[in-house]
Every structure is written in C-alpha cells, then in structure tokens.
C-alpha cells in the first residue's frame, strides 16, 4: 500500500511539474489519445526568416498523392500560443485525409497588426508551393482557425492584398472554417486587442466584416452559444456580410459550447461534445465535390 501511495504521489507531482513548465494544451496533448494512421512528416520547417515562422506537416499514412491541403491557425489573443500545443488538431485533420500544416506566427509584442495576418498568408503560400512534394494538391488549400487564429485566416482570405504579396489570388483558398472568431470587434475595449491593433490608423479595415467581397471563398462559421470570450454575434455579423456579397457560407451555433470547448471538440475524447470535426469535414467535402463537377 505504501508503495502504491508513493507511486500515486509521484505521478501527481510529475503532472503538477508538467503543468508548471508547459502550456495546458501541451499537457492535454501528452495525456489524450490522438488519431492513428497519421505521421508528422515535417517538423519546424521555415516559411519565413523569423524564428516564429516555422511549421509542421502531417499526412495520413500511405502513398496517396494529390491530397487536399489544410492549414490550421491556432488562437491565443495574438500574444500567446505555439504549434506544439496543437498536435491533436494536426492529427485529427490528417486522419480525415488532408495534408495538414500547423504553423507558428509572430505574436505581440514582437509584432502587431498586420504582422500575424502577413504570417498567415506566408504560411498559406508555403503550403501552396510545397504541397506537391509531400503528396498534396497546392491548388486546393483549405483554412481552419480558432479564435484569434480564425481572425487571421479570415482576414488573409478576405483581403486580397495579403495573398497577392505572394503572387497568389484569393481562389487558391478553396474554403475557410472559422471557429469562434472575432470578426467585428470595434471599438477596441479588450487589452489584447488594443495591444494588437491599437496602433493602426485605419481600424475599420482591420475588421473582416469590412473587407468582404463577392470574390471571397466559401466560409463555414462555427460558434458556441455559451461563448463569453468571443460572442456569437461576431460569426452572425460575418455571415450577414457574406450573404450580402453572395458568398456561399454556413453558420452553425452549438448549444452549450464555450470558447475552449469548440476547439477541444476536435480531439478524440471530446468529439461527443459537438460535431465540430464532422461539420468541417462535411463542408469541405461538399466544396470538393462541387469543384470536381465544374
């Protein structure tokens, strides 16, 4: 019995130490089961010259070529986060058949708007240019983002200047799935948003709702009705703008789902909470089917 108790105490202390050293998401990754049949084939590849401009690539096992490409952008209020905490997401999307890229980007205070959007566009450009050598189809790039990451992918996809800086048109983006994203948050009243955007002299143009045109890619907007961090009205307002512009889109609000829960529902143990992964897969598959018919 004493040996058993000693082992339990040791395990608890080890977990506490891990929580103190690593981010909660890194601990989450270490503890939860992940999707099988996936290999991380690239780790820490540079998509730009800065230390934070690094990415990982996941792909389903096997020798299939021409896989659709998915770029995932995590959140963290534009001032925190790293790709190591999102291995579960990279593996989840790769298990669905996507060549998946999870990337880091520059954060506040190293950069401010538009630096993190520029990095997002650069990661998309890397994915488009390098997908083929890893078995992917760089002409079909799907974007997924959560929270600040949803903002990043939305702004990069909606404002053509970011992709144009890399010689790309908006149509390189086949579709966007935005989870709990801030898309219409003026006036600035949150310290993180003030730090990230407060220095910019044209604040309206920092808002995704203000840069929607008819050339935008299709959007899937996912939000939880219990999200008190980024309120569902953000997704509703972007959906309304997309509708006005005639852009194909879908808005789904999950009952009882919070800001963190919508992200964690991508993981194997928590998919019962909300069909987030299934809804993303269904939406992107419908876009691929429509593209194949045209």
Give the position of tokens 């990415």: 55
| 51, two tokens | 């230390």
CA 259 centroid distance within chain: 14
| 222, two tokens | 């996912």
Q: What is the DSSP string of 115-167?
A: HHHHHHHHHHHHHHHHGGGGTEEEEEEEEEEETHHHHHHHHHHHSHHHHHTTT
Instruction: Indicate the Cα dihedral angle 216, 193, 29, 118, nearest 10°.
Output: 50
Q: What is the pLDDT of residue 19?
A: 42
Give exposure, 250-280, as e/b (b: 16+ Cβ within 10 Å).
Answer: bbbebeebbbbbbbbbbbeebeebbebbebb
**Which residues of the chain, if any, have pLDDT below 70?**
1-23, 29, 294
* Per-residue pLDDT tens digits for 75-93: 999 999 999 999 999 999 9
In angstroms, the CA 43 to CA 55 distance is: 7
Q: What is the pLDDT of residue 5?
A: 47
Asked whether the beta carbons of 45 and 115 are under 8 A apart, the reply is: no
In angstroms, the CA 271 to CA 278 distance is: 9
- Smallest CA-to-CA distance from 100 within 233, 275, 225, 266 is with 266
In angstroms, the CA 261 to CA 257 distance is: 6
Q: What is the pLDDT of residue 17?
A: 42
Please enumerate in sequence order all residues whose Cβ is within 8 A of that of 145, keeping only pairs 6 or more positions apart, or say none.
72, 73, 74, 75, 151, 152, 153, 154, 176, 177, 178, 179, 181
Residue 56 β-bridge partners: 102
| 123, two tokens | 């990661």
| CATH architecture for segment(s) 39-293 | 3-Layer(aba) Sandwich (3.40)
**What is the end-to-end Cα distance of the chain in Å, rounded?**
69
């Amino acid at each position: 019995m004493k040996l058993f108790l000693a082992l339990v105490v040791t395990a608890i202390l080890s977990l506490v130490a891990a929580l103190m050293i690593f981010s909660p998401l890194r601990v989450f990754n270490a503890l939860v089961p992940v999707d099988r049949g996936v290999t991380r084939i690239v780790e820490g590849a540079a998509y730009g010259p800065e230390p934070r401009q690094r990415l990982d690539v996941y792909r389903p096992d096997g020798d299939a070529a021409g896989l659709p490409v998915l770029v995932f952008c995590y959140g963290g209020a534009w001032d925190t986060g790293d790709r190591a905490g999102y291995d579960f997401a990279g593996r989840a999307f790769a298990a669905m058949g996507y060549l998946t890229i999870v990337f880091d980007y520059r954060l506040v205070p190293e950069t401010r708007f538009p630096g993190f959007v520029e990095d997002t566009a650069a990661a998309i450009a890397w994915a488009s240019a390098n997908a083929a050598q890893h078995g992917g189809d760089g002409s079909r790039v799907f974007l997924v983002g959560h929270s600040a990451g949803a903002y990043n992918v939305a702004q990069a996809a909606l404002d053509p200047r970011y992709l144009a800086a890399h010689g790309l048109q908006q149509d390189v983006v086949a579709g966007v799935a935005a989870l709990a994203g801030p898309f219409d948050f003026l006036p600035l009243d949150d310290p993180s948003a003030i730090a990230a955007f407060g220095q910019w002299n044209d604040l309206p143009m920092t808002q995704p709702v203000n840069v929607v045109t008819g050339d935008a890619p299709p959007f899937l907007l996912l939000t939880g009705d219990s999200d008190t961090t980024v309120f569902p009205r953000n997704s509703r307002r972007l959906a309304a703008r997309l509708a006005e512009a005639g852009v194909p889109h879908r808005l789904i609000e999950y009952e009882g789902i919070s800001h963190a829960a919508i992200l964690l529902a991508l993981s194997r143990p928590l998919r019962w909470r909300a069909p987030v992964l299934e809804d993303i897969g269904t939406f992107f598959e419908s876009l691929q089917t429509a593209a194949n018919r045209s």
